[in-house]
Structure 1
């Protein structure tokens, strides 16, 4: 029987669409947003709130864990390792200024996924050396959620494809209008926030992007059905 570490890594390797959810960004109920993106075909979701008090974040994270646990959707917590461990999230995503990967593993466990944000090839190499399970690559284009980081463009994506063996998600300013170009350039996993959760029809926006990934991704297999 495969161990849980292998199981989690295999599940992440199957991810095509990774949706970042920030309820305060759109002033909507987090659980409702989550259910809509799952209906639309999201493979993984990340709960991200930079300034929310821990007790409020924990309450939302518990709801997310319950819902994702029923739908085989990967649940990643942004930054807050203790809460990720407390709710038994599938993984943790940390930025360049957050804790190191070894310390994160001590908190959430060796069997969980840890992702690291990267903005250049040097950071990507270091994340791989430190034992990250995946990296995010971006922001490819300007995005309000990463306004402090300059866009890296497609060149960095191509460097990662050539040098890094880790799974990666591309992020930053991605929409239904430019997703096909990104996929064809090698961005086979896409992480999206605003283009989905700020849309009038979240389920349809999610479905449109998932369909683009399935259609244009030469490595995708059968599309997963994740009914609630």
Structure 2
């Protein structure tokens, strides 16, 4: 069993109301995929956060030992706890509280939303990946705080998923009242198409993580979304 170290929990800084308010205002969501990011420094990511360009960061690590994921999550949580950037952990519901994160992101085959809510309570954000309008409507009805909808385009980080295209983004408009983030190979080359389809928010991974200047990449995307 993982030891749960005492850390500065972001509940001390961000109340439930402030978390939900920050979520509603958010536009740019960074998926910090450990396998994509590798051993690169987080310095430029923190710089982008401090300049208010990244609204949410999700730690996604599918391969490392759980103890290693927790250690990195604690570092991120401590760095982000006094900022307006929300910190989300992918999959591991037990690491949310242990690390002091703001919430949890689930996949369609992960823990059901209602079970995650029983564990975390109302103070934490719970988001979920959806690949269709039906899944998005179901997630909204079950109490998800936000939805990641995609992949809009074919993406190297999810090669087995068929792209859903822009049509579903148009279908969500007016039907989904909670925040939803378009995801899937989104970047400067196509973000205007996403906006034109009705999405106000995007989640990106490689567009920032693989950029020569990560802070500048975040700045350019944030500027377009405003």
TM-score for the superposition, normalised by structure 2: 0.89
Which residue is 1:218 aligned to? none
**Equivalent-residue separation in structure 1 for 2:54 and 2:185 (angstroms):** 18
Q: After TM superposition, where is structure 1 displaced by more than 4 Å over at least 4 residues in a row?
A: none
CA contact 2:106–2:127 (8 Å) conserved in 1: yes
Shift of 1:184: 2.3
Q: Do residues 112 (structure 1) and 124 (structure 2) align? A: yes
The CA distance in 2 between the partners of 1:105 and 1:193, in whole Å, is: 27
Report the 3-state secondary structure (helix = DSSP H, G, I; strand = E; otherwise coil) of the residue aligned with 1:150. Answer: coil
| Deviations 1:184-226, CA, capped at 9 Å, x for gaps | 2211011000111011111111111011111xxxxxxxxxxxx
Do 2:44 and 2:213's aligned partners in 1 also have CA atoms closer than 8 Å?
no
Q: Which residue of 1 aligns with 2:199?
A: 187
Q: Which runs of 5+ in 2 are unaligned?
A: 1-13
Residue aligning to 1:220: none
Write the deviation string for residues 84-105 of structure 1: whole angstroms up to 9, x where unpaired. Answer: 1211211111000000112112
Q: Residues 85-96 of structure 1 correspond to what in structure 2 (within 5 A)?
A: 85-96=97-108
Measure the CA separation in 2 of the matches of 1:52 and 1:37: 25
Corresponding residue to 1:146 among 140, 148, 158: 158
Secondary structure, counterpart of 2:123 in structure 1: coil
Q: Distance in 2 between matches of 1:202 and 1:14?
A: 22
Match of 2:21 in 1: 10
CA deviation after TM superposition for structure 1 residue 166, in Å: 1.4
| Aligned residue pair count | 212
SS in 2 for 1:75: strand
Is the deviation greater in 113-122 or in 157-166? 157-166
Residue 54 of structure 1 pairs with residue 66 of structure 2: yes
Shift of 1:150: 0.6
Measured at CA, do residues 199 and 172 of structure 1 come closer, stay the same or move farther in structure 2, by a change above 3 Å?
Answer: same
Give the aligned CA root-mean-square deviation in angstroms. 1.6
TM-score (norm 1): 0.88
Structure 1 residues 13-60: Cα deviation after superposition (integer angstroms, max 9, x where no partner): 010111111233132346435314414610111111112111000000
| Between structures 1 and 2, the one with greater helix share | 1
The structure 1 residue matched to 2:208, chosen from 193, 196, 214, is 196
